[in-house]
Structure 1
Amino acid sequence: MTDFKQLLIDPESFGNITTDRLKSIGSAADDMGGTISHGIAAIGAILASAAMNEDAGLNTDAVADLGWLLQSLGTLSSGLDGIKTRANSRIELRSPQKEA
């Protein structure tokens, strides 16, 4: 199985990226995470509906495939959240210290 981390930007490289670019990265990661969350919810609704359909039922292979898909989407969502968090942390570190 492909490791999604290879497809995502490496947070270790954030030191060389402009603050505006970091904001764009954080925003994109947040947007993509939201899209994934809505997709997972839709899959859950479809799965529950299919489980209740006695005529069509659920094919065990399809259920297994859905399980793998959900695992992959969860891993990707977690990776995106980590990128967003690291980008926001890097921006915060660059911000001038606020006087107490």
Structure 2
Amino acid sequence: MQLIVHPAARRELDAALEWSKATFGRRTAARMQRRFEQAGRMLMREPAIGTSASRGARKLPLSSFPFTLVYRVEGSVIHVLALMHQSREPGYWVDRT
């Protein structure tokens, strides 16, 4: 399996890490980064682990953090479309490919 992170999802991760670092400190931001990486590895082992979302996408919540990975599986490629804050308007990512 190959994991490809959409540029907008990468920006969302970077913004979340910066906010976490500014609000809670470097250690919490590092934990969030590790959790994102763990979720990516989990998806590569078990791509169907997330729950169904719209337009063939799936969602995988990050434990301990209020974020959800939104992704789509196409053959042997996992496309991470968004790192969505759970309080943000759902579905803003649907046009990402």
Larger RCO, structures 1/2 (Cα 8 Å, 6+ apart): 1
Higher Cα Rg, which structure: 1
Please identify which structure carries the higher helix content: 1
* Structure 2 length-normalised TM: 0.35
* Structure 1 length-normalised TM: 0.34
